[in-house]
Each structure stands twice: as structure tokens, then as C-alpha cells.
Amino acid sequence: MNNDPLLIRLLAIEKLTKHERTLADWFENSYPHMAFSNLEEISATNGVSKATVTRFVRRLGYEDFRAFSRALKEEVAQNFDSPVERSVSGRKRRIGAHPGDLLREHLTLGKLDLQRTLDQADDETFATVSRLVSNPERRLFLMSVATGRMLLGYFYLLTKYRRPNVCLLAGTDHLAHEMLDAEPSSVLLVTNFDRFPTSVLAVMKHFFELGAETILLTNRRSNPLLRYARHSLFIHSESETVFKSRCAMLVMLESLVAGMGSASREKDDDNRLNAMEALFRKLDIYLQKEGASSSRGRGFRKNGPARSEHGEVEEQHGKHPADAGDQREPNDFER
């Protein structure tokens, strides 16, 4: 029995008749509201007979219109839930629960999400997506909102180790400025979790119509964004907690970074990694290890004169720092 959501079924069907194309377009454009339309309303709205509507839903894999309507309402209820609804439904279960029990519950649910994501993983699609996001000759755009944008920001930082020409799209007021450089050879990677932002839908539509490669990473198989996705990766997040776990989303993004490493040329990869580390040292951003042969008392320090375990300035290359013109005040790490 076909358990795929409506939009997946619509994408899979080929060679539509004129009336079927009319219905398919209306289903896509009216989703999810059309779930509450009856047979007569759909027939009248699209200018086709009720028999045509019934034949079309059967072609989509439903037994009849009644089965189609029932399945669609259940699908919408499952895929358009909100934290508020989950909070109300799970309130009694959480009241009085021991924090340790909640910890184990969340970790167990996260483990289950990862296992289910692994079980449904599409290796071929993942390999294709990895090649697309790795190609430095294609400008890569990243798009998400809310918590998804935070995770995509993390992914953005890691991709900078692997390749140039990456743009993390900002808020709505800056979208037009940043999308101006998009072209048919560009790649758009979108992450989508639970809800379906209209701004993301508009961006995906623009890139899709431009002829660019569009990639959707989501936990919702019943998803209006799918119509503008040339490639789709799915994760699981099935918990009934107020805020669902994003752990599978995070691991999938980290897997893409690993895939980028395997797809890139080793020399180019090493050059970017070394250049990044050189910038860290030049900008004096992180504590630096003095060397594998450091003697006891050296350990880690920021750039500047080395000090002994008692705080005295040690000589470097036979000269005292003062002799080399280093008159600056020691920073907090050197005091």
C-alpha cells in the first residue's frame, strides 16, 4: 500500500492529461487548504467533472475520493502541528517527571531519530548533493530561518574550510541584494524543519525558475517546498515533545561537510585548511600550542613572549623580548 504523502505522489506521476495537469497544479497550489474541500468543490473550482477528480485520485494511489480525503486530512494534521499543540498534548505526561527521566527520554528519542534517518538514507542522492555543494565553480547559497538558520550558520563556517563562493542568505530585507548574483549554475541548499516559511518558498521558486540546482533537507515528507526541489534529503524527528530534536539535521549537515571533503581535491583542501589556520594565528584568535617538544611549564599561550611557570619572560633565539623592541603590556593570558 502506498503511504507516500500527496505531494510526493504528484511528483512521481508522469504524462498527465490536460485535466489531470489542471488538478495537479491546483492540488500543489492549494495545499494544505484543499484537504478540507469536498468532491463537488474541487470539481467546480477546476472546471472538471467529479468523475475526472475521482479517476485522478485513484491514479495517485488512493482507493477512492473518500479514502483520499481521509488520508489527506490525517496527513495535514500530522505535518502542520506546532509546539503549542504538542505542549498541550504532552503536559500531563511531563508534570512531576524527574529531570533524569526526561534526559534519558530525549537521548533515546534522539538515538531513534538518527537510526531511522540512517535506515531511510538514499546513498545516491546524498552523493549527488555532496558533489553539487563541493563544486567551487558553482556559487553555493544557503537558506533557512529560525533555528534552522542557526544550524546552517554552523554548516556555513565548516564549508569555508572546504570551498570559496558560499553565501548564507540573510533576512528578508537583504534577500534581493544577495540573490542578485545567482545564476543557472548556482546551487541552493535549503534546510526546513516542521514549518513552511513563505520566504523560503519564494527563494526556492526563484532559484528553481532560474534553472539552478535546488536541494531541500527536511523532516517533513509532506512538504510544499518539494515542488521546487530538484534533490531532497529526509531526516526523522518523530518525538511528541514541545521542541523536537534537531540532532538528525545536525548530523546530516556534518555528513555533507564530510562528503565535501571526499569530493574535493586533496591539495586544494589542504591549502584552504592551512590558510585558515594561518589566519587564526595571524589574528591571534586562539590559544596556541608552543610545540610538541614544549618543556614542563610552557603548555598553551597566545602569541607573544613565552613565560616560565613562575611568570618570568623567557629568552627567545638568544634575545630578551625587550631587546627586540617588544614593549607592549602583557595581556590577560600572559599575566
Do the beta carbons of residue 297 and residue 308 sit within 8 Å?
Answer: yes
The cell 530525549 sits on which residue?
106
Q: Model pTM?
A: 0.72
CA distance 195 to 83: 10
Burial of residue 250 (CB within 10 Å: 0-12, 13-18, 19+) is: middle
Q: Which domains are present in the chain?
A: 6-79 (1.10.10.10), 122-277 (3.40.50.10490), 284-335 (no CATH)
Q: Which among 263, 197, 192 is positioned nearest to 232, based on CA atoms?
A: 192
- CA 137 to CA 313: how far, in whole Å? 49
Cell numbers at 6, concatenated: 500527496
**What's the pLDDT at 92?**
58
User: DSSP letter at 194?
Assistant: S
pLDDT at 230: 96
Q: What is the pLDDT along the chain (335 residues), one digit of tens a residue?
A: 478 889 889 988 888 999 999 999 999 888 888 889 999 999 999 999 999 999 999 999 999 999 999 999 988 887 776 666 655 555 556 666 778 888 888 889 899 999 999 999 999 999 999 999 999 999 999 999 988 999 999 999 999 999 999 999 987 888 999 999 999 999 999 999 988 888 999 999 999 999 999 999 999 888 889 989 999 999 998 766 667 889 999 999 999 999 987 766 666 678 888 999 999 999 998 887 766 443 344 455 555 555 555 555 555 454 544 454 545 555 544 44
Vertex 45: Cα angle to 41 and 49 (nearest 5): 75
User: Which pLDDT does position 292 carry in this prediction?
Assistant: 41
pLDDT (tens digit, 9 = 90+) per residue, 32-51?
888 899 999 999 999 999 99
The span from the CA of 22 to the CA of 26, in Å, is: 6
230, with CB counted inside 10 A (0-12, 13-18, 19+), is: middle
- Residue 20 · residue 56 · CB < 8 Å: yes
Cell output for 20: 489531470
pLDDT of residue 267: 66
A 10 A CB-CB count for 21 gives: 11
Give the integer Cα–Cα distance in Å for 144 and 170.
Answer: 9
